[in-house]
A and B are shown apart, each in its own frame.
Chain A
Amino acid sequence: MNRRYDVVVIGGGPAGLGAALAALDAGTESVLVVEREPEAGGILRQCIHSGFGLHHFKEELTGPEYAERFVQKAIDRDIDVVPNAYVTGLALDSDDTRLVRVLSERDGLSTIECSSVVLAMGCRERTRGAIRIPGSRPAGVLTAGLAQKMVNMMGYLPGRRIAILGSGDIGLIMARRLVLEGCDVVGVFEILPYSNGLTRNVVQCLDDYGIPLHLSTTVAEIHGRDRVEAITVAPVGADLQPDMSKAWRETCDTLLLSIGLIPENELSQSIGANLDLVTGGPIVSSSMETSLPGVFACGNVLHVHDLVDFVTEEALRAGRFAGQWARGVRRPPDTVSLVPGRNVRYSVPHTLSPDRPHTIYLRCKERMQPCVLRVGDLINKKLSFVVPAEMIRLKIRPSLLDNFYGDRLTIDIDPRD
């Protein structure tokens, strides 16, 4: 590790590695990736199922295979990766120098100078505290992703008889995974009337193994003193409150939570980057630059994606602009803000410029079919259906803004006949 780099990337998952490679492609000389774990690759290393890479590599890979391709490219391109390391602070010194405080097992505490920074810290899982399940606090209540790491990397089973709250894809995939490891999975409980995961995961992870999916049902209480002994589950009404008159008890020793992800932005907040209250990630321009000049962001730290392929796409963009910044390129500020409207929960990036093509990522608030996606009066795109669990990706040609003289475009999703 040197004292000075063109670009420092915080996080060595798919977002960070993609950004680091793109920064080199943009003509920078040196890139440092700061990684918390003992090796780069990120959460993909524990996602051993296949289904990754269909867009980016045009073939179906497992998570470790997708990660390894990027790690190998980083090695081939001489990107410095400092493992077992944290960024404890970031200061904006002058226009051309940023100071990054890195605490690592290998080098202790050090200060790295650089021109631009890419935030790629990913996200973390919501825990029991986020949904306040009543009951005692025994061992055996853990997030699905932690269980995934225990089973797939560390070689421990989290328990023998498992219940899963939340039907996100990680929960569904862990249901199958634990059955293959010889556990009993008593059921998946989802508070909403539909699954939060992909339909194909309901089919190949639950239906194939006869694991029941209880929709409109939640965990109303956790029982057990030292270890989980049982849970009380109950159907919910329209107000999403459990109807205890219809509650029943499920015996289990483990409760996995698959109840959503939160972008990991403590560092972004501590340095004063403006955050979007809906995504939980930084507000970014069309060059993926945060409100702090020369600080860029991409991947799940920005907004939670469902496909790593789109993380890579976004990271390549952020890395390219971070690399250009390090080479002294300064772009004029974007001229058009993009505002979520009817049935749009959020959209990223938050502003656009008329000088180049853009890719917009957005999510709807509720399921709608068939529908039409509108961007101001400029785009009317028919969609057969939208669901909150699936991110919508919209490409915008530069010519679209040729005859637009406003400073604000609203995105709406409306029903159509």
Chain B
Amino acid sequence: MATETTSYTCISCPIGCPLQLEHEVDTIREVAGNNCDRGAKYARQEFTDPRRSFSTTIPIAGALHRRLPVRLSEPVPKDRILEAAQRIHLLSAEAPIRCGEVLLRDLLSIDGIDVVACRTMLPLE
């Protein structure tokens, strides 16, 4: 069976190592080019089940600003990012909200992926 090489750029940190993943069909043989363990982990994940995290905002009432920034607790499958963003955009919040508060559990019915507020917003006095 021929060994093939797939190239990735690591997105785990700002260095951005160029990674080469050697594989025979679906079996990973080796990862090269990484400066740390996160690079090897990223390449393996990217080859088998690419995932991404992202931040977005939802409307909030009664606070200083009109939008509340939110993030994901865990990354979602890369091909479902837009679907995830659309689902989150159906949410809305009302002050007070605390940083770290969970606004939606199991996004897209995937266990353990929560939508989390990434700042505190107190009610306007």
**Cβ-neighbour of A199 out of B9, B64, B85, B99 (below 8 A):** B9
Per the 8 Å Cβ criterion, residues 179-201 of A in contact with B are 179-181, 198-200
Known contacts A152-B57, A180-B56, A208-B78; is-contact A62 B9 (Cβ 8 Å): no
Chain A residues with Cβ below 8 Å from B99 are: 64-65, 68
- Stretch of A45-53, A264-272, A356-364 contacting B (4+ beta carbons < 8 Å): A45-53
Chain B residues with Cβ below 8 Å from A390 are: 14
Evaluate contact between B52 and A204: CB separation under 8 angstroms. Answer: yes
B10 contacts partner chain A, Cβ-Cβ < 8 Å: yes
Chain B residues with Cβ below 8 Å from A151 are: 57, 67
Q: Mark B103-120, 1 if CB is under 8 A from A, else 0.
A: 000000000000000111
Q: Mark B70-98, 1 if CB is under 8 A from A, else 0.
A: 01000000100110010000000000000
Describe A's contact surface by its main secondary structure: helix
Evaluate contact between B82 and A199: CB separation under 8 angstroms. Answer: no
Chain A residues with Cβ below 8 Å from B67 are: 151-155
Per the 8 Å Cβ criterion, residues 24-75 of B in contact with A are 52-57, 59, 64-67, 69, 71
B13 contacts partner chain A, Cβ-Cβ < 8 Å: yes
**Cβ-neighbour of A49 out of B10, B55, B59 (below 8 A):** B55
**Cβ-neighbour of A64 out of B11, B56, B66, B119 (below 8 A):** B119
A307 contacts partner chain B, Cβ-Cβ < 8 Å: yes
Known contacts A48-B57, A62-B69; is-contact A200 B52 (Cβ 8 Å): no
Evaluate contact between B71 and A200: CB separation under 8 angstroms. Answer: no
Evaluate contact between B16 and A39: CB separation under 8 angstroms. Answer: no
Number of interface residues of A (CB under 8 A): 33
Chain B residues with Cβ below 8 Å from A180 are: 54, 56, 81-82, 85
**Cβ-neighbour of B9 out of A45, A177, A200 (below 8 A):** A200
* Bound: A198/B71 CA distance, A: 21
Known contacts A50-B55, A176-B54; is-contact A64 B69 (Cβ 8 Å): yes
Evaluate contact between B71 and A153: CB separation under 8 angstroms. Answer: no
Chain B residues with Cβ below 8 Å from A49 are: 54-55
Chain B residues with Cβ below 8 Å from A202 are: 9
Evaluate contact between A51 and B119: CB separation under 8 angstroms. Answer: no
A203 contacts partner chain B, Cβ-Cβ < 8 Å: yes
* Bound: A203/B66 CA distance, A: 30
Evaluate contact between A54 and B119: CB separation under 8 angstroms. Answer: no
A38 contacts partner chain B, Cβ-Cβ < 8 Å: yes
Evaluate contact between A153 and B11: CB separation under 8 angstroms. Answer: no
Per the 8 Å Cβ criterion, residues 349-395 of A in contact with B are 390
Evaluate contact between B118 and A39: CB separation under 8 angstroms. Answer: no
Centre residue among A39, A65, A179, A202 by max chain B CB count within 10 A: A65
* Least distance between A209 CB and chain B CB atoms (Å): 8
* Bound: A125/B112 CA distance, A: 39
Q: Mark A148-184, 1 if CB is under 8 A from B, else 0.
A: 0001111100000000000000000000110111000
Chain A residues with Cβ below 8 Å from B69 are: 48, 62, 64, 152
Can you sample 30 A-B contacts with CB below 8 Å?
Answer: A39-B64, A48-B57, A48-B69, A48-B118, A50-B71, A51-B14, A54-B13, A62-B69, A62-B71, A65-B118, A67-B119, A154-B66, A154-B67, A155-B59, A155-B65, A155-B66, A155-B67, A177-B56, A179-B82, A180-B54, A180-B81, A181-B56, A199-B16, A200-B11, A200-B13, A200-B14, A203-B16, A208-B81, A307-B14, A390-B14
A-B pairs, 4 with minimum CB distance: A199-B16, A64-B119, A48-B69, A155-B66
Given A151-B57, A155-B57, output 12 extra A-B contacts at Cβ < 8 Å: A49-B55, A51-B14, A62-B71, A64-B69, A68-B99, A152-B67, A155-B65, A179-B82, A200-B9, A202-B9, A203-B9, A204-B11
